[in-house]
């Protein structure tokens, strides 16, 4: 079998798995979706699923689209300057990330967000570590990075869960004023 035919078949199978999962996540809660549900809907066997994805969490990451790290790179343009503009861009990256999740997984949004929280916090932490590499002692830097990452994520989370009427811009400004007080 030619490589082109094999790639087309793998792409079709992968798309079939993602489509099945996408349908399921809009019909029932994420936590209740099993690999068996996905394989039955996609009309494939379990081994085929695991040839493409490690688990439903990896599949979810694929469906959501841009990963947290990719969105941070996009918004900050890989600039590691620690200033108000960069912090605002990190907040906007969180907004976009949460919007993608909500857009693609409306029914399960509230249960999925806590699962993806660590992915965004890890990406924020890595970026902030680089920004603050030459500032503070190691202990101070570690504490500050962890604190700043959580402030940024939680501000986005409040917006994403519609627990505030503040605009994105207003939230970004408030976050920067907290960090640069």
The secondary structure of the chain in percent helix, strand, coil, rounded to multiples of 5, reads: 75, 0, 25
- Does 8 lie in the same domain as 88? no
- Within-domain flag for 167: yes
- Within-domain flag for 60: no
- Does 133 lie in the same domain as 79? yes
- Which pLDDT score is estimated for 7? 66
- Within-domain flag for 126: yes
From 52, 19, 51, 54, select the one nearest 38 (Cα to Cα).
19
- Does 94 lie in the same domain as 50? no
pTM of the predicted structure, to 2 decimals? 0.77
- Within-domain flag for 13: yes
How far is Cα 132 from Cα 177, in angstroms, rounded to an integer?
A: 17
- Does 156 lie in the same domain as 109? yes
From 80, 114, 106, 85, select the one nearest 25 (Cα to Cα).
106
Number of domains in the chain: 2
- Which pLDDT score is estimated for 6? 52
- Does 158 lie in the same domain as 72? yes
- Does 101 lie in the same domain as 25? no
- Within-domain flag for 59: no
CATH number at residue 25: 1.10.10.60
* Each residue's pLDDT expressed in tens, for the chain with a length of 181 residues: 455 545 666 778 888 998 898 889 888 888 899 999 999 999 999 999 999 999 988 888 777 655 788 899 999 998 999 999 999 999 999 999 998 888 777 777 777 787 778 889 999 999 999 999 988 899 999 999 999 999 999 999 999 888 999 999 999 999 999 999 8
């Amino acid at each position: 079998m030619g490589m082109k035919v094999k790639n087309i078949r793998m792409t079709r199978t992968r798309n079939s798995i993602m489509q099945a999962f996408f349908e399921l996540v809009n019909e029932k809660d994420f936590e209740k979706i099993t690999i068996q549900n996905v394989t039955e809907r996609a009309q494939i066997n379990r081994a085929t699923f695991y040839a493409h994805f490690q688990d439903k969490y990896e599949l979810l990451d694929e469906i959501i689209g841009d990963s947290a790290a990719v969105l941070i790179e996009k918004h900050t343009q890989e600039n590691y300057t620690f200033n108000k503009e960069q912090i605002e861009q990190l907040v906007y990256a969180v907004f976009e990330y949460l919007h993608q999740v909500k857009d693609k997984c409306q029914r399960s949004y509230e249960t999925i967000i806590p699962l993806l929280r660590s992915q965004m916090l890890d990406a924020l932490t890595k970026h902030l570590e680089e920004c603050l590499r030459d500032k503070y002692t190691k202990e101070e830097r570690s504490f500050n990075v962890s604190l700043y990452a959580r402030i940024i994520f939680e501000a986005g989370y409040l917006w994403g869960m519609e627990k505030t009427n503040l605009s994105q811009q207003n939230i970004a400004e408030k976050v920067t004023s907290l960090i640069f007080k």
